[in-house]
Amino acid sequence: MAAVQQLEPMPMLARPQSMNGSSSFSKDVEMDTATTPPAQATVPLCSEPQRGDTRIVVIMYGVGEENIVGVFAEVLGKPSRLKTCFGDVTQEDQDWVIGLAAESAMSDIATRDRGLVVSINAHCTGLGMPPDIYLSAQCDYEFLYTKAPFFRRDLARFTSHILGQICHHPALITKPRTFIISTTFPDVHAALPNIDILTVGADAIEIRVDLLKEPLADGTFSEIPSLSYVGEQVMLLRQRTELPIILTTRCTKENGRFPMDNPGLYYDYLYRALQWGVEYIDVELWLPEAIRSKLFEQRGNSRIMSAFHDFSGTFKWTSERAESIFRESQRYADCVKMIAIINDHNENFELEYFRSKIKSTFPDSVPLSAVNMGETGQFSRTLNKFFTPITHPLLPIIAAPGQMSAAEINQALALLGQLPRKNMYGITSPAMRRGTPQAPFYEKCFNELGLPHQFAVVEWQPKGSGCIGAWCNQKSFGGAYFNPAVSFKSLAAHSSFLASLNNGTGPTVSEAARLIGTVDTIVVRPSSSSAPASEPASMPSSPPRHKNGESFSTLGPAQSGLPPNTSLVLDNASWKGILSTLTRDLAPSAYFGCAAVVLASSAEDAASALFALKALKVGKVYTVGFKTPPAFGKDLLIEPFTSLESIQRARTVGANGAAAASAGSSPFLVVSALGPEKSTLVGMLVRLFASRGAAAAAASGGFRKVFLDLADRAGSRKGDPGVIAEQSGFAAYGAADVTAFTTVETLRLLVGQNVPYSFVRLASGRTLF
Ligand SMILES: O=C1C[C@@](O)(C(=O)O)C[C@@H](O)[C@@H]1O
């Protein structure tokens, strides 16, 4: 038994032309339907990739910077070519990324066909700041970058966002609780060394532009930071964090430093932030309607947070005015923020009444983030659920009186009985347990987040004290992950407790876990609201005692059973880990329609990767070593390699059956789930699918194909297919990347908290930066 780990007439940003939704996955899984549990689609925590804006991407580049065009093209998965001016770009360039020298693009950028092209001014800050002001004003978007180091991840994120391929907002508004870290640095450089730890628990990061201090040559600071300085600061921040950025220009009347005599100034900064691809801009309600509506119209794939602060001390949540402020705010916003100074603790309850009234009066309205300031208002900061602004001890100052950290809010919630202590488990096999000392990592996360939960690594046994029922069927069960993942059929077969759920039909299983066939996470959820609280559909009110589940876990007795108002969802987080790894340095469109090879010794080993490839709308999958479950065949074109001839054909034929688009060998992506003992075979196939020679690479626009190795190769790099892949011109990713991204997803599922990928890597002993 495992030991317990105790834890305490301005230019317009055109809207995307097409925003096609992705088709949902088939539910037709190859399994015994009699034992198929009810499927419940889980809330998407990271929205699935979309096709987004399909206009021709035109990159304007500075002197000597034409290489950036190829990098954009590679990130988007398209070839590139250079032209002279916008007038030269035609429908025939649809599948290309076009580069125009900034100098010559100026001639006709103002008269470009905005329905045909999306124009991006790519400016290397090393060439001097600001970029050409005419191009900045005229372009749709502006990408500021540094050459050394160059952050491809930043470029992938920028393009995925502006083209609408990845959008965070839908997932954020459905997450039960979200936090925004309000940074207050005069210079973002100071934040960078601690950014991983600063952002633990945050779902978005706010840059307070009015608090930035731009040094001047005479040793003083400019009254307000220039656009040029702000641009570089935003670039720096985005290079180092995956979090959506909220850009704020807080005015002097609302506890900020931006002067109020010229509202046009706010427009200039906020519009430029949209061009920089910032995910959210904070637009104060006092700004003239013309400015607010214009920004709303021009926001493209960014989102607007309307902001209202009242420091007078006379604001009343119960007043008519409060409601009319909300009504006005939501007109030009995707979310509304209302914040006031109060004098009496009871006003926190008035705010709660206001919150519920808004919900019932405007049921379809945008989400509201509303808190009170000062110590008296702190209670409201624990009750607000959407985008609660937080601070961190490592920040130089708090952004507003009474601000609390994520840890303080969680501790307060725990004290108030709103965040009860739960027992969480890492359920593992003896072999994996030795290899992955996960308990200290979870301990670190829970500590950092001020969560009261306890965590233990335990070993799964089909019967007795190590059986699933022993861990799950307890009052304070808070969820578990499995490492390695287990087949849910075998889970259900071995656990009379799981089989008894949902009135004997078995546990609820997410769509991903159902299709993939394996479970790596058990999530505890409140029962669906449709079920009466006293009579939950999923759980008998007094759980039956199971002959092999009556045991004590290492975290306490299991006798009390799951509370009646909760249900268990069996889920799979690993496919999201694969998806995040593949889209870290490339936009999703790099994979749309491409051909991939998946190597595995069983369908079970390949399934998470196949699910991720479906989400990425891959065109064709060649398989080696396993038989694909029929359900995957519905949305993916699958072809098993049966002979050398079939491999040879795949090397020369594109995903759609036409001759491969480039002289390089199709397919574009190779994913291997084969163990270290099959390294030689994997290495051989990787070589086979490498782009053939410099000429081929040049013809394919210098494309780097992608290799993902899902095998854990603990230490030994001998015969490592990842190394062979890199030598053969692939961008290679390994199990450590997938594990870290999967852990991020697991933490979101288990404790609803966002822990950055870089923190996970850091905590496991490796830094990425
Ligand atoms: O609007 C807000 C909320 C805030 O004022 C607070 O009260 O926590 C802090 C600001 O940085 C942020 O822009």
AA identity, residue 100:
L
Query: Residue with the nearest Cα to atom 7 of ligand 1?
Result: 400
Same domain, yes or no: 226 and 304: yes
50: which 2 tokens?
A: 């979309």
In a domain, 553, yes or no: yes
- Alpha carbon of 403 to ligand 1 centroid (Å): 8
Tell me which residue range forms the domain holding 116.
48-162
**Quick one: residue 210, left, alpha or beta (phi over 0 = left, psi -120 to 50 = alpha)?**
alpha
Identify the residue whose C-alpha is closest to ligand 1 atom 6: 400
Atom of ligand 1 nearest to the CA of 282: 13
Q: What is the CATH number of the domain that holds 120?
A: 3.40.50
Distance CA 201, CA 546 (A): 38
Residues in the chain: 769
User: DSSP string covering 453-477, please?
Assistant: -EEEEEE--SSGGGSHHHHHSSTTE
116 pLDDT above the threshold of 80: yes
Specify whether 407 is located in the same domain as 288: yes
Task: Give the pLDDT confidence score for residue 752 in this predicted structure.
Answer: 95
pLDDT at 252 over 90: yes
Judge whether residue 769 has pLDDT over 60. Answer: no
Q: pLDDT (tens digit, 9 = 90+) per residue, 265-288?
A: 999 999 999 999 999 999 999 999
CATH assignment at residue 481: 3.40.50.10860
CA-CA distance, 465 to 554, in Å (whole number)? 9
384 and 435 part of one domain = no
Pairing assessment for the beta strands 204-208 and 179-183 based on DSSP bridges: parallel
Inter-axis angle of helices 346-361 and 320-329, to 10 degrees? Answer: 50
pLDDT tens-place string over residues 553-583: 344 334 458 888 888 999 999 999 999 999 9
Are residues 226 and 338 located together in one domain of the fold? yes
Q: Does residue 444 sit in the same domain as residue 310?
A: no
Q: Checking DSSP bridges between strand 423-428 and strand 303-310, what pairing results, if any?
A: unpaired
Residue 213 resides in a domain: yes
Q: Do 473 and 608 lie in a common domain? A: no
Output the CA 207–ligand 1 centroid distance in Å.
11
Of all protein residues, whose CA lies closest to atom 5 belonging to ligand 1? 400
Domain limit, last residue, from 162, 189, 209 = 162
Q: Which whole number is the average pLDDT over 55-61?
A: 98
By the 8 A CB rule, do 622 and 530 touch?
no
Atom of ligand 1 nearest to the CA of 373: 7
What ligand 1 atom has the least distance to the C-alpha of 255?
A: 5
Q: Are 451 and 410 in contact (CB under 8 A)?
A: yes
Over 70: is that where the pLDDT of 95 sits? yes
Residues 661 and 617 in one domain: yes
Number of domains in the chain: 4
Tokens of 759: 């923190």
Whether 481 and 571 have beta carbons less than 8 Å apart is answered as no
Q: 533 burial class (0-12, 13-18, 19+ CB within 10 angstroms)?
A: exposed
Residue 317 within a domain: yes
Residue type, 210: D
Ligand 1: residue of 179, 181, 183, 206 to mutate (most ligand atoms within 8 A of CB) is 206
Question: DSSP readout, 110-148?
Answer: GG--TTTEEEEEEEEGGG-SSPPHHHHHHSSEEEEE-SS
Query: Comparing 80 with 547, which gets the higher pLDDT?
Result: 80
The per-residue pLDDT for range 155-202, each reduced to its tens digit, is: 999 999 999 999 999 999 999 999 999 999 999 999 999 999 999 999
For residue 433, the model assigns a pLDDT of 58
Query: Atom of ligand 1 at shortest distance to CA of 401?
Result: 7
Mean pLDDT of 255-269: 97
Q: Is residue 46 predicted with pLDDT exceeding 80?
A: no
- Per-residue pLDDT at 719: 79
User: Is 250 within the bounds of a domain?
Assistant: yes
Which atom of ligand 1 is closest in space to residue 389's alpha carbon?
A: 8
Q: Answer yes or no: do 410 and 427 share one domain.
A: no
Nearest-CA neighbor of 206 among 280, 295, 296?
Answer: 280
Highest mean pLDDT among 15-29, 308-322, 617-631, 647-661: 308-322
Segment 232-250 shows an average pLDDT of 97
Question: Of 572, 604, 636, which residue constitutes the final position of a domain?
Answer: 572
Q: What is the pLDDT of residues 684-735, one digit of tens each?
A: 999 988 876 544 554 444 568 999 999 987 765 567 899 999 999 999 999 9
Average pLDDT value over all residues in the chain: 86
Cα of 754 from ligand 1 centre, angstroms: 20
Confidence band of 645 (pLDDT split at 50, 70, 90) = confident
Residue 186 lies in a domain: yes
374 with 395, same domain: the answer is yes
Whether the Cβ atoms of residue 636 and residue 610 lie closer than 8 Å to each other: yes
Give the residue, by CA position, lying nearest to ligand 1 atom 4.
Answer: 400
**What pLDDT score does 498 carry?**
87
Q: Are 338 and 405 in the same domain?
A: yes
256 Cα to the center of ligand 1, angstroms: 9
Q: Is residue 32 part of a domain?
A: no
Q: Do 651 and 568 fall into the same domain?
A: no
- Whether pLDDT at 477 is above 70: yes
541-555 pLDDT, tens per residue? 233 333 333 333 344
* Ligand 1 pocket at CB < 6 A: 182, 206, 208, 248, 250, 282, 307, 337, 339, 373, 389, 399-400, 403
Q: What share of the chain is helix, strand, coil (3-state, %, to 5)?
A: 40, 20, 40
Q: Per DSSP, what are the bridge partners of residue 707?
A: 670, 732
Are residues 298 and 393 both part of a single domain? yes
Q: Which of 572, 479, 505 is nearest to 42 (CA)?
A: 572
Query: What per-residue confidence (pLDDT) applies to 126?
Result: 97
Domain containing residue 656: CATH number = 3.40.50.720
Measure 382 CA to ligand 1 centroid, in angstroms: 15
Q: Is residue 43 part of a domain?
A: no
Rounded CA separation 197/767 (Å) = 12
293 Cα: distance to centroid of ligand 1 (angstroms) = 22
**Does 75 reside within a domain?**
yes
Q: pLDDT category, 657, cuts 50, 70, 90?
A: low
Q: Which of 543, 572, 601 delimits the end of a domain?
A: 572
Give the number of other Cβ atoms within 10 Å of residue 128's Cβ: 10
Answer whether residue 324 shows pLDDT above 50. Answer: yes
Q: Is the ipTM of this complex over 0.90?
A: yes
Q: What is the CATH number of the domain that holds 272?
A: 3.20.20.70
